[in-house]
Chain A
């Protein structure tokens, strides 16, 4: 009925224009000058249900139970499974007051559980001003029956960007949270000073989340819109983020929070005045080895990469994933000598949850495996290792949360 219009740009077809005027009933529908609307105005966007909030958090407790945190109707819901995901407990709401919780793309709720069973949760509360948010925290000390009232972790009281939180527990009373924070950029702007990128801030607790130390700045001038990552090592927590080197080289950096020394993960030389929206992952294996995965499109390498960091030594970056299938958004888990990497690909028809497995601490790897597929909206897959099991957790719109074994 309304095919491609053959008229020159700047004109609606007469019939459409007349009909629009007739039906809209007000002069505001006067013909636009200079540009015509897109060719399918008939399908002008109608209201649909709220966006799916598919990005979930997952972890495993000391009893081998899998805990999930997911968002529905502005509520963070936590449930657990004692049979590898076949059945889940009735979900318990964390926040009594509904709030706009980021659960899309690289924004996901985070969940961690200690050996004694305390559940820690963080998430980003997205505020209505573009790119503004707050880092929120709540915990349960009764095995997930009830949750503390959520608190805001960023302590600057500024309406600015606080986003892309990460959470890690040492399994005991210590807890670290990092996030991207716009306070320094805003303060510079107020002084009329240009500020490249944003900052990474840290909040730590030594009493199982009962209280937090004051926020501390970890690094200035970081990329603005890529997720951060955290792992706990024998030397304390280590954070990974996409840093800014020079004015616009967006390569990854990591830092042990106790020393604060910042090290470059790789010399990718991705010089780009843009938001990649594509972060990395980090995990600790046996002998304190760090396993890192990341995405770049730099001068020196392009695609998904893995490398080990042990003391001052780093392995050569290993490429993985099919670039032709837009391989991206990798996450890594490690336990002893077992390392499991997951990421997502799209083959032109369907999404695939992909996995790579190493049993020797990242020295040799299995061939990449496609663990599952879906033909609709999907979260990024996540790896879990526990009790000798290797699993991929994947939430997809059609199939729901699947927990799949990797042999």
Chain B
């Protein structure tokens, strides 16, 4: 019991106050995300903090969009490794995405995680998946187009109408 309590304490101490601490993404993580969004649309966006300038362009757009779209159902997955968590957090904070659900690859064999997301994906970034509420998904290869994203959000009835 004491051990479990200690474990709980350790776990919770490691739990970020800002909610921007990237969680470890393993080969079972996508199923969890999908289960949590059951019946709801969401955007799964893959990026890298270490080597993908186009990802920063895309995240900059998403950061701006999320200011107006308070309920933007966005899940970010960095394909880096847990050692990069500080850089990930810093980058997301700078881009106004601190509040967004954030994950980081945690596998010495990233191919395993790629295959768990999409066997057809060879690692190029950015890459996104737009899940409708029945979880039919479309892959967006390369930087997400803002107009396409907005019209998709509209189709999903996701736009909050707070855009100015």
Contact = CB atoms under 8 A, between A and B. Distances in A.
A33 B91 CA distance: 20
A24 B15 CA distance: 9
Interface string B25-56: 00001001101110010000000111111111
Contacts of B19: 32, 35-37
A273 B143 contact: yes
Contact of B125 (A23, A44, A275): A275
B12 A40 contact: no
Interface residues of B, number: 66
Interface in A35-61: 35-46, 48, 50-51
Interface string B115-154: 1000100111111000000000000011100000000000
B97 to A, nearest CB: 10
A19 B54 contact: no
Contacts of A131: 51, 53
A197 to B, nearest CB: 10
A224 interface: yes
Contacts of B103: 38
Interface in A317-345: 324, 326, 328
A45 B23 contact: yes
B109 A51 contact: no
A397 B114 CA distance: 20
Nearest to B35: A4
Contacts of B17: 20, 24, 26, 28-29
Interface size bracket, A side = 35 or more
B96 interface: no
- Of A29, A41, A45, A377, most buried by chain B (CB within 10 Å of CB) is A45
A16 B109 CA distance: 32
Interface string A1-30: 110110001000000100110011010110
B8 A1 contact: yes
Give chain A's interface secondary structure class: loop
B164 interface: no
A273 B124 contact: no
- Of B56, B101, B143, most buried by chain A (CB within 10 Å of CB) is B101
Contacts of A29: 17
A45 B101 CA distance: 14
B82 A4 contact: no
A129 to B, nearest CB: 11
A398 B87 CA distance: 27
Contacts of B108: 376-377, 397
B24 interface: yes
A177 interface: no
Contacts of B14: 41-42, 44-46
A130 B24 contact: no
B36 A274 contact: no
A44 B25 CA distance: 10
A34 B126 contact: no
A381 to B, nearest CB: 15
A346 B110 CA distance: 10
Given A130-B91, A273-B143, A351-B109, A24 B12 contact: yes
Contact of A346 (B13, B101, B111): B111
A351 B13 CA distance: 36
B101 A274 contact: no
Contacts of B163: none
Given A19-B8, A20-B15, A348-B115, A276 B124 contact: yes
Contacts of A276: 122-124
Given A41-B21, A274-B124, 14 more contacts: A1-B7, A23-B13, A34-B99, A38-B23, A40-B29, A44-B11, A45-B104, A46-B82, A48-B83, A225-B51, A248-B142, A272-B142, A273-B54, A277-B125
